[in-house]
Amino acid sequence: MSFLNGIKNPDDIKKLPKSDLAGLAKEVRECILEVVSTNGGHLGAALGAVDLTIALHYCFNTPHDTIVWDVGHQVHAHKILTGRKEAFKTFRQEDGMSGFSNKDESEHDPFTTGHAATSISTSFGIAVGNRILKKEARAIAVIGDASLVSGMAFEALNHAGHVKDNLIVILNDNEMSISPTVGALSKSFNKFISSGFYNHLRHDIVEGIRKIPKVGGQMVAKAKKIDEGIKHIFVPGLLFEEMGFRYFGPLDGHNIESMIEILENVKKIPGPIFLHVITKKGKGYTVAESDPSKWHASTPFCVETGEVKPGAKQKSYTKVFGDKMIQLADKNKKIVAITAAMCDGTGLIEFSKKFPDRFFDVGIAEEHGVSFAAGLTEAGLRPFVAIYSTFLQRAHDQIIHDVALQRLPVVFCLDRGGLVGEDGPTHHGVFDISYLRKIPGMTLMAPRDGREFELMLEFAQGHLLGPIAVRYPRGAVSEESESALKNVIPAAIQLGKSEILREGKDVLILAYGSLVYTAFEAAGILEKSGIEATVINTRFAKPLDEALILRLSKGKSLVVTLEEGSLVGGFGDGVLELFEQQESAVPKIRTLGIPDRFIEHGKRESLLSKLGLTAPKIAEEIVKSLAIFEPEPNH
């Protein structure tokens, strides 16, 4: 008998006897494993959250009640159980289902999520809205232990605990373990303190004592201290009680029937509730349970053995960064590395082992990480801050206020600059050029390949004129391609100076970073059509090589800018601003890049093609533009 085949929507879960829910969980895990092993994606936390997901949908009624999954990388079971079981086969595939919560997919997803620590704030907003609109519904935020330490999460907890609206925060803790003794005591104690009997009795006693003339208020305060003292013996949640939440936990996140009992109790208790649930990453898949860090996410793999399916082995920009950082730190004892819960993702694992005293993982706290780097710089060190482009957005104010305003030469290393593929719009790093270019004193670089990337990192460590950022794409270094450009060795880096790769009389192509090789290939295609193109590797989006750009643009029918970033405020806009300042006649200019919309998920190569950022499509666009700009013949 298949339990999962009978689940068309969350209401069907409630029709099952509680004794069958463990069987349903097993089938959901099998479904997740089948799809993720084929398509790749997040795995460990998703398997760990299955039982909790079933319990939540058994006790609450989405979308009337709302569940916001922080980050959304553990949302697989939620998708399967909310009418998307068949669509789940297209998980992370182009034109298929997103790998994260997505409000465009289902009414059961109130938010599209992908960044950490936002769930409590958004759920609290829903809770306040429910009260104002007199809506009898519950707002639930499910947040992981890594996200909870983020400053934004604590800001939301502080506010929600003060306002006292009906909010349930569930901490999905998959790092901590409970000893059998504490766990047993906690289980019994939580059942008791969450029960209606205890909470009615507690309320009646408090109100009765409060009415005692003169001493009632003092007695209530004393009784609360005793209550907190007893809780402190059994549970570790005094911090959340102090913030204004009723704390319950730790709970066994894989005992569905026990969780249902607690959830049914706490949803009747008014005010903010904090539920601490312990889960195991990779639950139900022994391979993932044994190495939760490795199996946080995976490329396609064999379920039976856990072996990753073979793919092309190419050196990545992340690998180049990690190796070069060790070389630089060996020679320069002032170099330190900072990342935000992405030691492996940014390539700093080996650095952290070799230089443990000079490596800092600040957790999911990008704002703190940037200001921390400012302090290190002021003290005389040379911090390299390695954060994905999409996550550095979270520290925008700190970059301006604590770094740029102070003219501090912090080095920002932006991994995943550009389109990242299957992770989609929450993770595409397409805004960094725009949000950094406007900052006074900021220098922006992007390499054409891995060799130039190493030169830029060397240049950055000696740059003392203010903050400097280097962005680089996800994936293999460009010189791994079959382009003729791979035989051209990059010249030394000079501040604000470009590199001429080829010259032609008709078109000037100004390419930035990841699209330099593409521009070079496009010029080769144009040559076959009789169009000669000059190709410039601009290297810097700020400062621009103004003199070279203006000189080489003279006599050209068209100037084209290429960037794997947002066109609004991006590199192309900088070139337009340069020509706008000129008093003499300027050429026709065409800017190509990421349009003013959020880009869907899909393979990077396919997305670039859709956006017209492949060599053949760039060449085609240039031919079209030249035809449009060509003056009509006189009759």
User: How many CB atoms sit inside 10 A of residue 597's CB?
Assistant: 8
pLDDT of amino acid 409: 98
Concerning whether 366 is annotated as a catalytic residue, the answer is yes
> Which residues of the chain have a pLDDT value below 50?
176-186, 188-189, 192-193, 197-198, 201, 230, 232-235, 634-635
Give, for 172, the enclosing helix (H) or strand (E). strand 167-173
- Domain 4-298 identical in fold to domain 498-629: yes
pLDDT at position 188 is: 47
CB 76 within 8 A of CB 100: no
- The C-alpha angle 202, 206, 211, rounded to 5 degrees, equals 150
- In whole angstroms, what is the distance from residue 621 CA to residue 255 CA? 59
pTM for the model stands at: 0.89
Structure tokens at 87: 């669509």
> What is residue 181's predicted lDDT score, i.e. its pLDDT?
33
Tell me yes or no: is domain 498-629 CATH 3.10.129.10: no
Nearest of 314, 609, 325 to residue 477 by alpha carbon? 314
515 and 594 in contact (C-beta within 8 Å)?
no
Q: How many CB atoms lie within 10 A of CB 396?
A: 16
Among the listed residues 241, 366, 563, 564, the single catalytic one is: 366
Given CATH 3.40.50.2020, say whether it is the number of domain 317-478. Answer: no
Q: What is the pLDDT of residues 37-63, one digit of tens each?
A: 999 999 999 999 999 999 999 999 999
pLDDT at 202: 55
CA proximity to 246, closest of 167, 187, 182, 173: 167
Domain positions in the chain = 4-298, 317-478, 498-629
Identify the active-site residue in 92, 187, 394, 590.
394
The token pair at 622 is 């240039």
Using DSSP's 3-state secondary structure scheme, residue 316 falls into strand
384 residue type, one letter: F
Using the 8-state DSSP alphabet, how is residue 441 labeled?
T
Place of tokens 């992908």: 114
Our answer to whether residue 580 is catalytic in this structure is no
Active site residue 202: no
Look up the CATH superfamily of 4-298.
Answer: Thiamin diphosphate (ThDP)-binding fold, Pyr/PP domains (3.40.50.970)
**DSSP code string of 280-309:** -TTTT-HHHHH-TTGGGEESSB-TTT-PBP
> What is the per-residue pLDDT for 59?
97
Cα-atom radius of gyration of the chain, to the nearest Å?
28
CB 296 within 8 Å of CB 44? yes
